[in-house]
Amino acid sequence: MATINLSANEKKLLRQMYWRSFTLYSSVTPAKQGASGYEYAMLPFINQFYEDAEDKKLAMVRQMSYFNTNLAMAPFVMGITASMEKENAAKSNFNADSINAIKTSLMGPLAGIGDSIFWGVLKAIAAGVAIGLAKSGNFLAPIIFLLIFNIPVQVVRWYGGRLGYTLGSTYISKLYENGLINILTKAASIVGLIMVGAMTSNMVIFKVKWNMMMAGKTILKTQPVLDEIFKGLIPLAITLGCFYLLKKKNISINYLIFGIIILGIVVSLLGIA
């Protein structure tokens, strides 16, 4: 793997990013998740790479896009994002849309990997060791649990950010030189859309309870019929409707949230869902 020598200033920026990344989920909103924490971690790079105030503004808006991944894997994505912001600041023909495309495509798969390794495996191992010590009366059990779990997480966070920045700095320029960046951006956008579609299927739930009755007997179950037509049809329609209102009609996300809550209460009281 090709590597680059990081300057003293870049190492300083990466250290700042590491410490700031702890605030990733300190201010979470349904619409943005960890976006504000992500932008906070990116600010040292933005202030360093961009001299024009308008360019800084655009970069800050760009980094406020939706972001949600495993906390241990986040610095790796941040490192790649920082290297792409550096390229964008240096090259007038850089496709700025590729930055969020790459970020979106990475956060889903890395969330699955990070959750499986750190929450599914490492936490269970740490808990098993700590419980064994606790049963024997060892007062160090909770400390051992925290050490076993947190040391690997912090190692991955520290070196992941540097690895992401190095990979980005090494390969993004080559992709531009070879004309492959547009292909990468399109592929990343497709992966991102797949991830968003999977999230919609898993997180937006609307099961119709109303069935067609005749003489006190159910003659048609609505939900199975809808599933045969298109599985997840109503959740998809609700999601696309919210997207339309948000993007085309400029409806506030807060109004949409309250609207969905009210809709859920109404259909529940009516026995529809």
Give the pLDDT confidence of 90-128 residue by residue, as tens digits: 888 888 888 888 888 888 788 888 888 888 888 888 998
Indicate whether 92 and 24 sit together in one domain.
yes
Give the model's pLDDT for residue 175: 63
Is the residue at 57 inside a domain? Answer: yes
Indicate whether 48 and 132 sit together in one domain.
yes
In whole angstroms, give the CA distance from residue 149 to residue 70. 14
Domain encompassing residue 245: 205-269
Q: Are 102 and 124 in contact (CB under 8 A)?
A: no
Kindly tell me if the per-residue pLDDT of 2 is higher than 70: no
Kindly tell me if the per-residue pLDDT of 1 is higher than 60: no
Indicate whether 97 and 154 sit together in one domain.
yes
Q: Are 196 and 235 in contact (CB under 8 A)?
A: no
In whole angstroms, give the CA distance from residue 210 to residue 169. 56
Give the model's pLDDT for residue 12: 95
Number of domains within the chain: 2
How far is CA 41 from each of CA 18, 20, 81, 114, 163, rounded to the nearest angstrom? Answer: 8, 5, 11, 20, 16
Indicate whether 136 and 211 sit together in one domain.
no
Q: What is the mean pLDDT of the chain?
A: 85
Considering 197, 213, 232, which residue would you say is the last residue of a domain? 197
pTM over 0.85: no
Is the residue at 3 inside a domain? Answer: no
Percentage of the chain lying above the pLDDT 70 cut: 90
Is the residue at 99 inside a domain? Answer: yes
Indicate whether 135 and 260 sit together in one domain.
no
Indicate whether 170 and 224 sit together in one domain.
no
Considering 165, 181, 197, which residue would you say is the last residue of a domain? 197
- Average pLDDT (151-165) is 94
E strand or H helix that includes residue 124: helix 123-135
Kindly tell me if the per-residue pLDDT of 165 is higher than 50: yes
Closest by CA to 188, choosing from 106, 251, 110, 270, is: 106
145 burial via Cβ count (<10 Å: 0-12, 13-18, 19+): buried
Indicate whether 121 and 240 sit together in one domain.
no
Bridge partner residues of 217 (DSSP): 214
Residue 71, phi then psi, degrees to nearest 5: -60, -35
Q: Positive or negative, the Cα torsion across 20, 23, 24, 28?
A: negative
Indicate whether 147 and 253 sit together in one domain.
no
Is the residue at 1 inside a domain? Answer: no
DSSP string, 176-214: HHTT-HHHHHHHHHHHHHHHHHHHHHHH-------EEEE
Indicate whether 135 and 255 sit together in one domain.
no
Indicate whether 78 and 192 sit together in one domain.
yes
Is the residue at 2 inside a domain? Answer: no
Considering 144, 178, 197, which residue would you say is the last residue of a domain? 197
E strand or H helix that includes residue 220: strand 217-221
Indicate whether 116 and 180 sit together in one domain.
yes
Indicate whether 192 and 249 sit together in one domain.
no
Kindly tell me if the per-residue pLDDT of 184 is higher than 70: no
For residue 63, the one-letter residue type is Q
Q: Are 176 and 94 in contact (CB under 8 A)?
A: yes
Q: Identify the residue with better confidence: 155 or 192.
A: 155
